[in-house]
Structure 1
Amino acid sequence: MYEIIQEDQQAFLILNNWGSQPFDQFWIMVSETWIWAPLYGIFLYLLYKNFKLKSLVFILIFLGLGVTLSDQLAGIFKTGIGRFRPCHDPALDHMMREVKCGGQFGFYSSHASNTFFIVTFLSRLLYRKYKFLPYFLFFWAIVVSYSRIYLGVHFPLDILMGSAMGFLLGGLFSTFALKVIHKQNKDDSVKG
């Protein structure tokens, strides 16, 4: 385990030190949730355009529950595992670029988990209609996740674990949503 942590720290230092001060504000912005509000509006429009209102309500419920679970699980892991964020790790003092710092513990990244949850969830629901969408969405999730390393608030393993958890939860919740939608469509066709 010690070797894995050492490799993770080395990978972090390489990725973190690629940054330079003129780009810091850009990566801070990428990492902010509010900046993506127009994109979330587009996602909502695409869902509205492709699903009946009743189905859309269930989709939004599953989406909200899934993001909440994704976020809360990350918080439980952070306090339970207690791995310092890079910006709080005394072993990395004067070796990293600290652009921003968060809470004391960082394993695993809730940004990565939540973003990969949304991406997986939406990809599963919309890929048949928009074949290019999953490529765009996963690129977006990778950029947002990398911003956390750039800023100095997460190690690569924090990001990888967060991405994996978001991917798994997104797959699970999208499966639930698709089953409910399928059942609704089946019930509607029987009634009609």
Structure 2
Amino acid sequence: REGNTWMPLYLFIIVLSLVNFKHKAFAFILFAVVTVVLTDQISSSIIKPFFERPRPCRDPILMNQIRLLLNGCSGGYSFTSSHATNHFGFAIYICLTMGNIIGKWKYAFLIWAATIAYGQVYVGVHYPLDIFFGAILGSLIGFVTAYLNNKTAGKITSDDIQNKLTHGIQ
């Protein structure tokens, strides 16, 4: 759930694309960044202020019933979970743009996103529906940005890979 856990993986994907995806790397990285910006801003700046749902650890009825597993309760609102939105958006984007070359490993990105999202409920900062709707929102955004990337630059295939050693991923 912390950035130092997932940031190295996402940086690795950027480096992998720069080294291997030839002319499609720029579009791939650009749409990946657009995916993360859209998921984060739509969740944090539009939906959360609209619904103003307090986090479970700040809800007066629940706050004394929850065993918070963090040093403190996060600020801001709960619905939708930005962690779930961001990570599901990125996972769907990866599945739909790189799925051809990473094969079954694309499902690892969905599991990764699900574990990060579940962690938000587990530590007491989100309700399950915050995660569910965050995952749906992120998945929709990831679908749209992947569609735009694939339409603009084309889906990444094994023919786009410069370094043929990467074929070992499959």
Structures share a fold, TM > 0.5? yes
Match of 2:13 among 19, 27, 43: 43
- By percentage of residues, which structure has more helix? 1
Deviation of 1:49 (Å) = 5.0
Q: Would the aligned equivalents of 2:35 and 2:93 in 1 still touch at CA under 8 Å? A: no
Q: Higher mean Cα deviation, 31-40 or 119-128?
A: 31-40
Offset from partner CA, 1:80-127 (integer Å, 9 cap, x none): 101110011111132211123111411000100000011000111111
How much identity, in percent, do the aligned residues show?
34
Tell me the C-alpha RMSD between the 2 structures: 1.6
- Hey, what does 2:25 align to over in structure 1? 56
Helix, strand or coil at the partner of 1:123: helix
Contact 1:118–1:170 at 8 Å: present in 2 too? yes
Moved more, 122-131 or 170-179: 122-131
Are 1:88 and 1:104, in contact at CA under 8 Å, matched by a contact in 2?
no
Alpha-carbon distance between aligned partners in 1 of 2:76 and 2:26, rounded to the nearest angstrom: 37
Which letter does structure 1 place at the counterpart of 2:96?
R
Counterpart in 2 of 1:177?
149
Q: Which residue is 1:99 aligned to?
A: 69
Computing the radius of gyration from Cα coordinates, the structure with the larger value is 1
Q: Please tell me whether the aligned partners of residues 86 and 155 of structure 1 are also in contact (alpha carbons under 8 angstroms).
A: yes
Three-state SS of the structure 1 residue aligned to 2:153 is helix
Check whether the contact 1:107–1:158 (CA below 8 A) recurs between aligned residues: yes
Ranges in structure 2 where 5+ consecutive residues have no aligned partner: 156-170
Matches within 5 A, 1:84-163: 84-100=54-70, 101-163=73-135
**TM-score when scaled to structure 2?**
0.83
Q: Structure 1 stretches of 5 or more lacking a match?
A: 1-30, 184-192
